[in-house]
Amino acid sequence: MSPWGRFTVRGSDRIERDLAALADGIAAAAGAALAPRDYRTLIMMGGYGRGEGGVDRRSGVERPHNNIDLLLVTNGLGRRDGELKRALESAIAPLAAQAGIGIDVGTVGHLRLAWAPCRIIWYDTRFGHKVLAGDPSYFKNLTRFSVDRILASDARDLLVNRGTLLLLNEEILEHGTPGPEQTRALVRHAVKAIIGYGDALLYFLGAYHWSYLAKRSRLVAHPAVPDRFKQLYSRACDYRLEPSAGGFADVADPPWLASLRAELGAVHAMCEATRLGRPALEWPDYPDAALSQSTRDALRNPLEVARAARRALRQVSAGGAARGATPVSFRLASARDRLALAFPAVAYRLGNEAVRETARLALGARDREHATLRRAFLAEWGHSGDVNFGSAAARLGLGSSTQEAA
């Protein structure tokens, strides 16, 4: 057995040895490229860090299904993060090329992490990682990253993050018949979305866990989860661990997509009903309930109050599109809050005109047509949600429609 433990659930001894050798190489490269004084720890996170990575079998050859995710915790606030990231990426580039696998490097400053709120990613990472260099107990000692301290708003953002991938799929399909790379992206996005929705639901049911296998077991056994979604989630988990050639072959089929939207919309409504304390929540009531909660959350934190005040002043001075909407709460909402507010109307093609109008105002879109709202959402997502979204869209052959507000 490798000192790193297992990297995959279903991989053979050969792929385990290959990944162990890659981990050894990364550790050695990091030791040569980085000074010990510059960082606290370097870890492998994500599926392979948890020992639950996926394995892709093609023509009898096993390959890692996902990229390797590394996180470098730098000293201080992270002012040199960019420089250290580039040094590490340069050092491991030959290893990635030789292995034929993507290796993604993230950085975070030690002091920023010390003050960071408990998010899902930090809870997951604390319990599921492999230390490649530096302090071997750094993340284990971050005891405040516990499941009971995860922010409800972070679980809400998980829904929006993963659901946005399905909006990107809509853009791909509207651009014509997808090629091989785009088809793989369609499947990858659908699988990530389904798993992300299931993970968020587990959080709101009080059953979240850092392990993929434990989450699957808990979701399938939970009486509050609809049976059809249990089957969908299990199917996505199977694909993540070991993708099959015909897996999710219906990903571009309009009836299947409509069914998927309905399933995920129902899960999203369950989650938000719990977060907002509104058991009978319907989507027409969602904007007011969500805005009220965002305002309460902001007012609990003096720093957020100051930030919200600056946002409101900027909107007033700029004559922002949201001026005519729900007065104070709309202006106090952060970019993330506004994206979450607009998302249900866009993702599930809700027909309620008041809900669609709120989405239009939140996104600054010119009208309430679905394509207009979707593209305005994706443009705002690229600006405020995921800074890497633009490059991802470009790799998939999508034009400026995803970059500019409609």
Mean pLDDT of 171-194: 89
d(CA 73, CA 87): 14
Mean pLDDT of 173-196: 90
Taking alpha carbons only, the member of 268, 66, 282 closest to residue 157 is: 268
Does the pLDDT at position 57 exceed 50? yes
Residue 326: its pLDDT value, please?
45
Which residue do the tokens 């007011």 mark? 288
Does the pLDDT at position 22 exceed 60? yes
Angle CA 183–187–190, to nearest 5: 135
The percentage of residues in the chain with a pLDDT greater than 70, rounded to a whole number, is: 87
* Per-residue pLDDT tens digits for 278-303: 998 999 999 889 988 877 776 666 55
Mean pLDDT of 384-391: 74
d(CA 360, CA 211): 38
| Least confident span in 134-138, 168-172, 241-245, 263-267 | 241-245
Confidence label for 374 from pLDDT (cuts 50, 70 and 90): very high
Angle CA 260–124–43, to nearest 5: 125
Domain boundaries, the chain: 13-149, 151-281, 294-406
β-pairing, 68-74 vs 103-109, is parallel
Residue 264: its pLDDT value, please?
97
Q: Is 110 exposed, middle or buried (0-12, 13-18, 19+ CB in 10 A)?
A: middle
Instruction: Give me the CATH code for the 13-149 domain, please.
Output: 3.30.460
Residue 327: its pLDDT value, please?
47
Does the pLDDT at position 147 exceed 60? yes
Residue 247: its pLDDT value, please?
78
* Per-residue pLDDT tens digits for 202-243: 999 999 999 999 999 999 999 999 999 999 999 999 999 988
* Per-residue pLDDT tens digits for 233-276: 999 999 999 887 667 888 989 999 999 999 999 999 999 999 99
Rounded alpha-carbon distances, angstroms, from residue 232 to 78, 109, 235, 277: 40, 38, 5, 27
Residue 300: its pLDDT value, please?
63
| β-strand partners of 286 | none
Cα within 13 Å of Cα(75), Cβ side: 8
What value does the mean pLDDT of the chain take?
88
| Least confident span in 68-77, 116-125, 242-251 | 242-251
Residues 6+ apart with CB under 8 A from 56: 62, 63, 64, 65, 242, 243
Does the pLDDT at position 102 exceed 50? yes
